[in-house]
Amino acid sequence: MSEIKRYNNSLNLSHVVEAQQFDRETILNNLFPLVDRMKANVAKGARKKALRGYQVISWFEESSTRTAASFALAVDWLGGKIVYSTENAKTFSSRAKGESIEDTIRILSECYHADIVVGRFANNGDAVAAASVAVGKTFIVNAGDGDNQHPTQALLDMYTIHEKFERLDNLTIGLVGDLANGRTVKSLAYLCGKFEGIKLYLVSPEQCKLDQGVKDYLNKHHVFYEEADDLRPVAQELDVLYVTRPQLERDTKLTEADMEPGRFSVDQTVLAELPDEAIILHPLPRTWELPTFVDIDLRACYFEQAENGLYMRMALLKMISHSLPKR
């Protein structure tokens, strides 16, 4: 039996609600080999049956391109069905009438027996709230909750970093941009706490610093971090430059003027300082902080990163399928 098959069969996953729930061994020994396998399956055009007979609901209260589409495609590659999909659940579901997330999930779970609910929630903490009321064998996948967390994004970010460096220890990572309002950086920071010797540069304008709660977690898990207000002096130390956009939809206090080129946005100076072997990531979508001229730079990996989202979500859904009742 191959290593991958053995690892794959050893792990059942239920709810995916926050990055901290994943430990180092699960990530490196179970999840990543399975993602490799999903990637190979898609390359071969090999459709699978892990979700055959299972019903998935795609519940998006906020806009999405990558997460919604890649989950839908992942379900399809695994032979499952998205039986109900709402792209604007805040408007078109009874959430618009004030129904709580708890009642919503009780209906989908207790009353309608959905197997998996992939949810992008407008409010922080609603993924945890959803998982706490889901009964029986309905599993919740957090596709982003408010400005709190985006665990599947952070896992695919880590997978992309691991693909490039073949390790997740002893890396220097620059998290740049709107660190107060971006959820991907928070989940990524939590995952950094699972590895050794990671140094984070937190590069943001004063009004958009990373939450103290996340920094407390970094301290507790011995992740060394340094806050900075200019990317240029630290760029030469980075293995990973992780750029994020101002979260304009969350009333961020940032404007284009605040994202001064070089300081908080990628420009030619930053590219000149960044080591040849570094990689540039961005969860996307982007605005002015990552100009399109960067796309031809050999260090730009953000489209590969987005592609890995499909394979990561397939792997997570496959792991969840191990916890579902046999059909």
CB atoms within 10 A of CB 167: 14
Whether 66 sits among the annotated catalytic residues: the reply is: yes
Whether 222 sits among the annotated catalytic residues: the reply is: no
* 142 close to 119: Cβ distance less than 8 angstroms: yes
CA 276 to chain centre: 26
Active-site option among 37, 39, 66, 183: 66
Which is nearer to ligand CP, 156 or 270 (by Cβ)? 156
Min separation Cβ 43 and ligand CP, Å: 23
244 binds ligand CP (CB under 6 A): no
Whether 24 sits among the annotated catalytic residues: the reply is: no
Site map (CB under 6 A) of ligand CP, residues 259-288, x = contact: ------------------------xxx---
Residue type, 78: L
Whether 263 sits among the annotated catalytic residues: the reply is: no
65 binds ligand CP (CB under 6 A): yes
Q: Which stretch binds ligand CP (CB under 6 A): 33-41, 59-67, 81-89, 197-205?
A: 59-67
User: Quick one: which of 21, 26, 64, 287 contacts ligand CP (CB under 6 A)?
Assistant: 64
Active-site option among 67, 152, 184, 252: 67
* 72 close to 314: Cβ distance less than 8 angstroms: no
Whether 313 sits among the annotated catalytic residues: the reply is: no
* 47 close to 79: Cβ distance less than 8 angstroms: yes
210 binds ligand CP (CB under 6 A): no
Min separation Cβ 144 and ligand CP, Å: 6
Tell me if the bond preceding 285 is cis, omega within 30° of 0. Answer: yes
CA dist 222 and 196 (Å) reads 8
What kind and span of H or E run contains 30? none
67 binds ligand CP (CB under 6 A): yes
CA dist 56 and 74 (Å) reads 11
Min separation Cβ 220 and ligand CP, Å: 27
CA 242 to chain centre: 13
Q: Which stretch binds ligand CP (CB under 6 A): 11-19, 58-66, 220-228, 290-298?
A: 58-66
66 binds ligand CP (CB under 6 A): yes
Burial class (CB in 10 A: 0-12, 13-18, 19+), 223: buried
Min separation Cβ 70 and ligand CP, Å: 8
Which is nearer to ligand CP, 149 or 153 (by Cβ)? 153
Q: Which residues of 103-130 are buried (b: 16+ CB within 10 A; e: fewer)?
A: ebbbebbeeeebbbbbbbbeeeebbbbb
Applying CB under 6 A, the residues found at the interface with ligand CP are 64-67, 144, 150, 153, 283-285
Active site residues: 66-67, 97, 120, 150
